[in-house]
Chain A
Amino acid sequence: MEQPAIAVEGLRRSYGDVEAVRGVSFEVGRGEIFGLLGPNGAGKTTTVEIVQGLRRADAGVVRVLGLDPASQVRELRRRVGSQLQDSALPARMKVREAVDLFGALAGTGVDRDALLEGWGLADKRGAAFASLSGGQRQRLFVALALVSDPEVVFLDEMTTGLDPGARRVAWDLIRDVRARGTTVVLVTHFMDEAERLCDRVAVMLGGRIVASGTPQGLVNRHAPEIRMRFSAPAGGDLAWLDALASVRRVQRWGARVEVEGVDPVLAEVSAGFLARGAYPEDLRVEQPTLEDVFLRLTGGEGDR
C-alpha cells in the first residue's frame, strides 16, 4: 500500500497544566484534501504545528512523507508549504519581493506571476505588506505556502477575512492545487468550506478527535434527520404521516407542517401524497449539513 502523506499516532502535547492535545491519531492519504475541524481551543493548530515541525510533541509518532518532523525538519520543510496563523511579513516588504524571496528560499518553484494572478494579487505586486487588507494578506500567505510547489500544504484558517466571492475563488484554487497531486490539510471552523472542499474531515474537541470520515458519512451517522416543510393541502388528513416507518416526528403550526425523518422519508412521504391525490404546492426539504454534525458533536461549545 502506498505510504500515507501524513500518519499521526497517539499525539500528545501540554502547555503547563493544560493538555492541548490528548492522544490524537489520524492519517491523510496522498492527494487528499483533509479537514481538521473544531471549535477554538480544540487543539487543531497545535496538532498541525507539531505535524509541520514547528512545535515538539510530548508523546506520539508523527510521519509526514515518511519523515519525522522532530528530527528531519529541514528535509521536511523543503517538501511542505505552510500558511500559518499569527504570522506576518516585514511591514515594508512588497508583495513581489515576498514571493521572490520565498521562491528563492525554496529553490524550485512555480510560475510566480501565475501564482499572484490566480490569488488575485497581480495588481498588488508593488504594494507593501502593511498596506494590504486582511483578505489580501491571507491570500498572499496561501500563495507563499504554494510558491515552493510543495507535496503537502497546510492551510490554517485559510479563508478567514475573505469575502464570500473570494472564498469561492480560494476553494477553486485549492481544488486546482489538489488536482496537481498536492495533499492539502485544511484547518478551519467554516463547516461549509469543509463540506465542499474536503474528502475527509476529523472533528477535534478538547484535544481529541471525536469523529472522522467523509463529510457525507459524518452527516449520515451523526445527523441523519431530514426535515420537510410544507403547507397542508386543503382538506387533506395527515394522520397517515405518523404511520410511516421513516417518519420520526410531525409538527404543525396551523397550516404549516414540518416532518422530520430518516431515509427514505422523502420518497415515502412524496409517494403518500401522490397516492392520496392531494399534495402540497410548496414542499421544501432541508438537508442536514456538516454544521449540524458539528453543533451536535460539540454541543455548540467553544472557548468564547
Chain B
Amino acid sequence: MSRLRLLGTMTGVELRLFVREPITLIFALAMPLVMLFVLGEVFGNTPETDEVIFRGVGAMDYYVPAYVGLTLASFGVLALPVHLAAYREHGVLRRFHASSVPLWAILGAQVVVMLAIATVGSLVMVAVAMPLYDTDLPRSTAGVLGAYVLSALSFAALGVLLGALLPTARAAQGVGIMLFFVMLMLGGAGPPPEVVTGPLRVVGDVLPLTYVARLLQDPWLGFGWDAGTIAFVAGMAVAAGVGATVGFRWE
C-alpha cells in the first residue's frame, strides 16, 4: 500500500471512530461557542478608547482569534494525548505495531482528524461571532492561514509528546485538564494579559496558548508579525516533535 493510501485508510478509520465518540465531538463544537457567548455577553465588542486591555480593539475581536487557538489547544493537550495514551494502555498500538502499521500513519491519521474537527469548530464559532458581535474578518487571510498551520503543527506535536510520555488515558486526562484550564485562564483566552499581574503573569508568559493566541491575533487584527511570537510557537513544534520521537513507546 502506498504511503498516501495508507494514511488515507488510517484517517478514514480514525474519522469514523471519532464521529462515533459523541462527547468529544460535542465538546469540540460546543466549547468555542460557549466561550464566545459567555465572554461576548460580558464584554460585548465595543472598540476600546481610553485604556488598552484588549490590544486596542473590541473584546470579541480580541477573543475570536484567541478561541481559535484555544480550540487547537484543547486538541493538543486533551483529545490527542488521551486518545494516544488510551491506545497504548489498551494494547491498540501493540496490535497495529504487530501488523506493521507505521507510527507516522497512526499519528498522522489522528492529527489529521483532530485538526479537521478543530477547524470545523473554529469556523462555526467565527461564523456565529460575526453576525452576533459584529466581529471582523481577518485583515490578512493568508497571514491567519499561515499562523493557523504553524499553531496547529505546534499543538499537534505537543499532543503527541504528552501522549508519548503519559502512560495511561487517566494520567493524560488529569494532566490535560490541568493544562487546559491553566491555559484557558491565563493563556490569552481568559482575562487579557494586560490585567493579569505578578506570578500569574509569569505563568501566562510560558504558556503556549499565550503565544498561539497572539500569533493568530496579529494578522487577524492587522498588527503585523512579531518574530519572538513566531519563534516561540515554531520552537515548541520542533522541541515537542523531537521529544515525542525520543520518548515514544509502543507499549
Residues of chain A touching chain B, judged by Cβ–Cβ distance below 8 Å, are 52, 54, 73-74, 77-78, 82, 84, 86-93, 97, 101-102, 104-107, 128, 144
Contact = CB atoms under 8 A, between A and B. Distances in A.
Contact of A54 (B1, B16, B90, B97): B97
A86 B91 contact: yes
A150 to B, nearest CB: 11
B25 interface: no
Interface stretch (B33-41, B52-60, B98-106, B213-221): B98-106
A158 to B, nearest CB: 15
Listed residue (A73, A104, A128) with the most chain B CB atoms within 10 angstroms of its CB: A104
A84 B210 CA distance: 44
A65 to B, nearest CB: 15
B16 A105 contact: no
B170 interface: no
A93 B21 CA distance: 11
Contacts of B20: 92, 128
A299 B91 CA distance: 33
Nearest to A106: B99
Contact of B1 (A92, A105, A128): A105
B24 to A, nearest CB: 11
Interface in B58-99: 87, 90-92, 94-95, 97-99
Q: Classify the interface of chain B: helix, strand, loop or mixed.
A: helix
B120 to A, nearest CB: 20
B249 to A, nearest CB: 13
A106 B9 CA distance: 13
Contacts of B142: none
Interface residues of B, number: 19
B5 to A, nearest CB: 9
B231 interface: no
Given A90-B87, A93-B17, A78 B100 contact: yes
B13 interface: yes
B99 A102 contact: yes
A136 B12 CA distance: 25
A188 B58 CA distance: 69
A90 B17 contact: yes
Contact of B95 (A73, A74, A87, A92): A87
Contact of A87 (B1, B6, B98): B98
Contacts of A87: 91-92, 94-95, 98
A86 B94 contact: yes
B98 to A, nearest CB: 5
Contacts of B21: 92
Given A78-B100, A101-B9, A84 B91 contact: yes
A104 B9 contact: yes
A88 B91 CA distance: 5
B17 A92 contact: yes
A300 to B, nearest CB: 31
A295 to B, nearest CB: 32
Nearest to A148: B99
Interface string B195-224: 000000000000000000000000000000
B133 to A, nearest CB: 37
B99 A105 contact: yes
Nearest to B91: A87
A129 to B, nearest CB: 9
Interface in B217-237: none
A224 to B, nearest CB: 41
A82 B94 CA distance: 11
B13 A101 contact: yes
6 contacts: A54-B97, A87-B91, A93-B13, A101-B9, A105-B99, A105-B100
A223 to B, nearest CB: 36
A102 B94 CA distance: 14
Contacts of A86: 91, 94
A143 to B, nearest CB: 13
A52 B17 CA distance: 29
Contacts of A92: 17, 20-21
B1 A104 contact: yes
Contacts of A78: 100
Contacts of A144: 99
A90 B92 contact: yes
